[in-house]
Structure 1
Amino acid sequence: MKRIFGSLLLAVGVAGCATGVAPSASESFVYQGNPLIRDRHTADPAPLVVGDTLYLYVGHDEARGDQMFNITEWLAYSTRDMENWTYHGPIMRPTDFSWVSRDAWASQVHEKDGRYWFYTAVEHDEEQGSHGKSIGVAVADNPLGPFEDALGRALVQNEDTDGPHHWDDIDPTVWTEDDGTSWLFWGNANLYYAPLNDDMVSFAAPIQQIELPHFEEGPWIFKRGATYYLAYASLDETIDPDERISYATAPSIEGPWTPRGEITGSAANSFTIHPGVAQFKGEWYLFYHVGNLTVGDQDGAIGRRAVAVERLRFGEDGLILPVEQTEAGILLP
C-alpha cells in the first residue's frame, strides 16, 4: 500500500470473473471454490481454530466506483468441515472504539486463557491526540463476541514508531509461546514486534524491528513443529508492481529470521494481498484475497476484494511448497 497512498492513486476495477449470489445474513452456504465468500466483498482474512471449528474474520469492503478503500466493519464466518459455512454478521465496527474515526483494516483474533483478543488497525480520531493508523485491542469471552475495547486507547499510535508514513502501524498478528508469553508483530514498510505483558494490552519490552527482503505489510506468524514461520505481503517492483506473499523461518519467535522466498504470486486484479494461515483437522490452509468478484453492480477492484483459500503444503525440509491460486480452491471430496 506504500505506493498507493504515497501517490494518492485511485484504482479502477475491471470486470470480475466471478459473480456473487447472496445468501441472507442468517443462512449458511456451501463452499463452491474461490472466492470463498461470494455475496459481499471481503478482505484481509484472519482464521482462528477453536476446537472443531474454524472461525474466519474479514474486513467488509464497501468501496463504490473509483473509491479506493471503504472498509466499514469486521465480519465473522465459521465452519466445521471447510465445506459448510455460516455467516455470523458484523462482530465490531471501528467506531466501537471511542477514539477511532473510521477504517476496519486488517485484524486477528487470538485466544489466550479462554478469552478472545481482537487486534486490529484503525484510523485514530485526530481530535483525540493522534493521527494516522493505530492498533486497537478489543476482547470477548466468545469468538463471536460481543467484543469491547480492552484498553480505552490505542495500543500503538503512529507516534510510537519511526515509520516512513502515517500508516506504518497496521496489520497486527499475535503469537503465544508454550510458556504463556505473547508477542505482537505488525507494520507497513517497517516490520515491528514486541512482547506483550500478561494483560495483553501493554508491552513488556521496547518495540524492535525485523529486516526482511521486500517486506511491505500483512505479517502472519504460525508454527509447525519446531519451526516458526512469518508470512507477509512483499513488494519487489522490479519483478511485479503488485504485492506477493513471501515468508521467512526461524528457530525462535525472536529469530533469527531466514528469508525463504515466495509462497504465491500477486492476486488477481488486486494490488494488495494478505496471508492468513491455519492448521485445521490435520490440514494446513492459506487464506488470501483477490479482486475478481462481481457483486451486484460492483465489479472487483482494489477496494472490493474477495477472500479465497488454498491448501498449504510443506516439503520434507519443512519449507513451504509454492501455492497456485485457483478457482477450484481446496477441492473438497
Structure 2
Amino acid sequence: MSMLRPGRRPVARAMTVVLGACVAAVVAAPPAHAAEIPTGARSLQSVNLAGSYLRHVDYLGAVTTVSSTSSAQLKSDATVTVAPGLAGGAGCVSFQAANGMWLRHRDYRIRLEANAGTTTFLADATFCVRDGSAGGSVRLESINYPGRFIRHRDNELWLDPPTTNSTTFAADSSFRVTTPWVAGRRTPTIKGLYADPNIAHLNGRYYLYPTTDGHNSWSGSRFDAFSSTDLVNWTHHGSILDLGPQISWADDRAWAPTIAYRNNRYYFYFSAATNIGVATSSSPTGPFSDPLGRPLVPAGFRSGQMIDPHVFTDTDGQSYLYWGNGAAYAVRLNADMVSFDPGQVRTFSLPNYREAAFVFRRDNTYYLTYSVDDTRSENYHVEYATGTSPFGPWTHRGTILSKNLTLGIRGPGHQSVVQAPGSDTWYIAYHRFAIPAGNGTNREVVIDPLRFNADGTIAPVIPSL
C-alpha cells in the first residue's frame, strides 16, 4: 500500500464562481470538528452495537460486549491509554494497550503491534478525531489515509472508506468515549517528582523506594516508600528515613536506595553525600535506624563516586553488593548484611557503564543492567550484559531502554527489575524526565513489562505514557 506523508491533510475542493466577466476561485473551508478524546485511560463504546466496546483479541482489533461481570482480562483488553498522535497532527491521537503495544492499521486491518519507530508505523498508529454520527460520539480518521475511518465490520475493526456500506457506515464508525473499564496504565506510576526507583516484592506486596526529586543539585534529604498489590494502585507510606535527624554522618544528597531482606530484618542501602550507608528495620516501611553510625562504603573508597547501591541475593542465600558511578564494583556481603571484606571487592569492565548497576537472575543466567550517559541528558539509557555468576564474566548485550522523542520520553534510566512471584512475568521500573517539561532534576517513575526473547536475551522495553 502506498503511503502519504504523515500529517498530510485532505485538500479542500476549489469552487468556481462566475461573476459577470470575472472568475474568482473560492476555497471551501474544511468542516469544523468539535469532537475530542482526552488523554489517559479510556474505553470506546460502539454507537450502534449496544454494550460493545473496542478491544483487541489475539492482537487484532474487534468490538465485543463488555459488562460489569466480564473478566478482568476482557475489561483490560477494552481499555486503552489515549496519547497524542505518534505522527503528530492537531486533534490526532494514538491508542496504547496495557501491554505497551499500539493500535495501528496494516493492510486496512486494525492490529495491535509494538512501536517499530518507523515513519510508516507512527502514521499507521495515528488517528484524527472527528464528530460521530450521534451527539458526543467520535469517529477516527487515518492521518495517512484521509477519508478512511476505523469501523466495525462483522465485529472486526477495519480501516474503511464510507463507500464500504454507506447505509450504516456513519454509525459503524462512531464510538462514545467512556470511563475506562479498568484504571489502565497511567504514568507516572507514582504521582510527583521521584527518580532512581528500586522495585521489590516483599511480604506479599510490591514496594518502590525512589529518590525524592525536584531539588537543585539533587540535594534532597528524605527517602519515601510506596507499596501496591497490583502495580497500579500505590499507597504512600511517607518518609521512612530522613538523613538530617536520623543519620549522623550525612544530611543531604539522599539518592538511589535499594532494599534486601534477611535474618527477619529489612536492610535499606542508600547514597548520602556520595557515601553508601545502610539502615535496618523490622518492617519494609520502617522506621529505619543506622546500625553502624558511619558509611558502609565511604566516599573515596575507590575511584569514582560511591553511590547507587544495589543488593542481589542468589538462590543459595548469598547476598552481593553492587555500586559505583564511573566504575562498577561488587563484593559479597557478610551474613550480617552490614559488612564485607574490602580485599574481596571486584571491579567490572562494562562498555559505556556510567552508574546504576542492577543484577537479577532468570533460570541460570545472571543479568547485569546499568545506565549509560548522564542523568541530565535526554540520551540517558539502559544497557545490559549477561553472565554465568554474580561476578560474571559479563557479555555485553546492548541497549534495552532509550528515549522516544516522538512520545516526549527523554532520559529513561536508573532501572530496577522485579519478578512477579511464581511466574515468568517481569517488570522494569525506571525514571525519565517528567513530561512535558522535566529535566535531570525533575523526573518521574514509570513501570513497564520486561520481556525476554526465546534465546533469553531481553527484548527492547516499550516505554508507556
TM-score > 0.5, shorter chain as reference: yes
Show the counterpart of 1:55.
207
Unaligned runs of 5+ in 2: 1-38, 41-182
Question: Offset of 1:31 from its aligned partner?
Answer: 6.3
Show the counterpart of 2:429.
287
CA–CA distance in 2 between the matches of 1:105 and 1:326?
25
Show the counterpart of 1:195.
332
Tell me if 1:75 matches 2:224: yes
CA–CA distance in 1 between the matches of 2:455 and 2:409?
33
Pick aligned residue for 2:197 from 25, 34, 45: 45
SS in structure 1 of the partner of residue 218 of structure 2: coil
After TM superposition, the score normalised by the length of structure 2 is: 0.56
Question: Offset of 1:196 from its aligned partner?
Answer: 1.1
Show the counterpart of 1:141.
282
- Change in Cα spacing, 1:227 to 1:119, as seen in structure 2 (3 Å) is same
Summarize the alignment of residues 227-266 of structure 1 with structure 2, pairs less than 5 Å apart: 227-235=365-373, 242-266=379-403
Question: Offset of 1:231 from its aligned partner?
Answer: 0.6
Show the counterpart of 1:325.
463
After TM superposition, the score normalised by the length of structure 1 is: 0.78
- Change in Cα spacing, 1:150 to 1:31, as seen in structure 2 (3 Å) is farther
SS in structure 1 of the partner of residue 255 of structure 2: coil
Question: Offset of 1:181 from its aligned partner?
Answer: 2.0
Q: Give the letter for the 1:152 counterpart.
A: G
CA–CA distance in 2 between the matches of 1:100 and 1:55?
25
Deviations 1:50-79 (A, max 9, x none): 24210111111132xxx3423331111111
CA–CA distance in 1 between the matches of 2:450 and 2:193?
24
Q: Is the 8 A contact 2:190 2:234 kept in 1?
A: no
Greater Cα offset, 202-211 or 255-264:
202-211
Question: Offset of 1:149 from its aligned partner?
Answer: 0.6
Show the counterpart of 1:175.
312
- Change in Cα spacing, 1:55 to 1:109, as seen in structure 2 (3 Å) is same
Q: Is the 8 A contact 1:270 1:302 kept in 2?
A: no
CA–CA distance in 1 between the matches of 2:462 and 2:206?
23
Pick aligned residue for 1:156 from 297, 311, 319: 297
Tell me if 1:185 matches 2:298: no
Deviations 1:82-138 (A, max 9, x none): 222211111112222110131110010111132111111110xxxxxxxxx110000
Pick aligned residue for 1:93 from 242, 249, 270: 242
Deviations 1:116-164 (A, max 9, x none): 11111110xxxxxxxxx1100001111111100121101111221133x
CA–CA distance in 1 between the matches of 2:277 and 2:197?
18
Q: Give the letter for the 2:218 counterpart.
A: F
CA–CA distance in 1 between the matches of 2:222 and 2:307?
16
Greater Cα offset, 81-90 or 259-268:
259-268
Show the counterpart of 1:34.
187
Q: Give the letter for the 1:141 counterpart.
A: S
Show the counterpart of 1:112.
262
Q: Give the letter for the 2:249 counterpart.
A: W
CA–CA distance in 2 between the matches of 1:76 and 1:102?
18
Q: Is the 8 A contact 1:69 1:302 kept in 2?
A: no
Structure 1 stretches of 4+ with a deviation exceeding 3 A read 266-272
CA–CA distance in 2 between the matches of 1:302 and 1:229?
26
- Change in Cα spacing, 1:269 to 1:102, as seen in structure 2 (3 Å) is farther
